[in-house]
Structure 1
């Protein structure tokens, strides 16, 4: 965004993004069918979840005598499981995410925001509390929280590469980090180490443009960072391909090693692929599944 825009103009630009982002996220979330209770399950908590017939091994203290008096079957009153029900999101808003190699492809940031918001919609509808890492937006339930998240996701970070926010991690919560993860790996290591120290487990989803995997450049090429702080010109771009792909492979291997060491899941999504596939993977990974 141009630094010459007035504060009001910048605010209007940001506000204009909200309806479109919400519409895309709602539409994407609508393609995923949840079970009757979504992610909610029985356990320790305060909120009533369901009655179920008593089973062998159930403590007599769990019997709901009022419900059982209505028939010949004894019923247990189950409460909604509330351990690790908070899910914390971090979406890279840095300039590197505002890249798309072709006009018919979404920017990495756009895909990341839609996936994050669609995930939040599914989780909140499933009874979870969702918020942001850091201190700006603690996990909550409800439609108002979805609007707050959409607003937060619509604000760009002016740095080339944004560092993952690791403050205020709720112990034993779940977390989702979405980025291209092309910035300083020390920041990613710090965030996941801090999370692991607090018993937080989660998902890293790396989003890349297809050209960032293929490196299709040849001849004279000028490479510039989206933020405009870095520039490199070469007459033989093809000569850089092997070295670039080697470094990208090293970055992926480092992310794989880091997520394994901290108990997180790592996924890769290309902006040319289906957003629905990525959303389904995210949702499964949060429940401990793998792809």
Structure 2
């Protein structure tokens, strides 16, 4: 049996253990139309990209005489930039992300994993390297890397709120952090500051359940953390609503200030909204970080 066939069979066997997330991520990625050029940029590669009219300062060696002979204007033959970028991914696996206010809604963790894996699929298709922050899964290309990511995303963190990993950030790479960002903000500040110091730019996507935006609770209510470590009972939950909404607004403002200071982009997604729209925004936001 050839080594190539052995690798293929092993990859297929690994994929068969993770059908739901992989299948949904592949389907979601397939719904996003990226145009003919994807993430390609003009540069020093070998593959033809496009013709463009010659401009002042262009070397005569760049002129494509066959294309220019069709008319009175000279054209330059541009080639695709072949240096792949590395994109570092972090998905909050903490217990708070497993919350869903309604059986008809996905949990925050499910939506975060789906969006991150679908984004990784699109990036790999565009020739980029993807991996996890930290040292456990460095950026690589290929479908096997997608399977490794899916496996990593299947592991839950026992703590209520997970902290972003900031070790081993590749200089001048890009990054995607996905969480509800309701935990210790100091950990997020540390991670983004460390990343910015290494020239890493990226995107924070805050994922919230719709109920977390409106606080619909009234009367006697028991609030309990998803990890079971915290609990609070009140007879008048409605009286807590405004204080909660004020705290949530303060957290969003703090995230806005942090991303502006570090050159990152901030997005907000609700689990009741379209995953396709969120994926398209993520892809464009990461692409914008390269310019």
**TM-score category of the 2 structures, normalised to the smaller one:** 0.7 to 0.9
Worse overlay, 31-40 or 276-285: 31-40
| Alignment-derived partner of residue 3 in structure 1 | none
Structure 1 position 230 matched with structure 2 position 238: no
| Alignment-derived partner of residue 47 in structure 2 | 49
Structure 1 runs not aligned, ≥5 long:
1-13
| Alignment-derived partner of residue 139 in structure 2 | 139
1-structure distance, mates of 2:266, 2:36 = 28
| Alignment-derived partner of residue 6 in structure 1 | none
Matched positions, count? 270
Structure 1 residues 209, 17: CA separation in 2 closer, same or farther (over 3 Å shift)?
farther
2-structure distance, mates of 1:248, 1:93 = 21
| Alignment-derived partner of residue 37 in structure 1 | 37
| Alignment-derived partner of residue 82 in structure 1 | 83
TM-score by length of 2: 0.85
Structure 2 runs not aligned, ≥5 long:
1-13
Please report how far the alpha carbon of residue 59 of structure 1 lies from its aligned counterpart in structure 2 after TM superposition. 3.6
2-structure distance, mates of 1:209, 1:70 = 55
1:203 match: secondary structure: strand
Structure 1 residues 59, 249: CA separation in 2 closer, same or farther (over 3 Å shift)?
same
1:204 match: secondary structure: strand
Q: How does 1:210-229 map to 2 (within 5 A)?
A: 210-229=210-229
2:169 match: secondary structure: coil
| Alignment-derived partner of residue 9 in structure 1 | none
1-structure distance, mates of 2:80, 2:272 = 43
2-structure distance, mates of 1:52, 1:37 = 10
Structure 1 residues 131, 62: CA separation in 2 closer, same or farther (over 3 Å shift)?
farther
The alignment's C-alpha RMSD in Å is 2.5
2:145 match: secondary structure: helix
Query: 1:8-27: CA deviations, max 9, x gaps?
Result: xxxxxx99872100111111
Please report how far the alpha carbon of residue 154 of structure 1 lies from its aligned counterpart in structure 2 after TM superposition. 0.9
Please report how far the alpha carbon of residue 128 of structure 1 lies from its aligned counterpart in structure 2 after TM superposition. 1.0
| Alignment-derived partner of residue 162 in structure 1 | 162
Please report how far the alpha carbon of residue 37 of structure 1 lies from its aligned counterpart in structure 2 after TM superposition. 3.1
| Alignment-derived partner of residue 8 in structure 1 | none
2:140 match: secondary structure: coil
Structure 1 residues 17, 223: CA separation in 2 closer, same or farther (over 3 Å shift)?
farther
Q: How does 1:16-31 map to 2 (within 5 A)?
A: 18-31=18-31
Q: Is the 8 A contact 2:40 2:80 kept in 1?
A: no
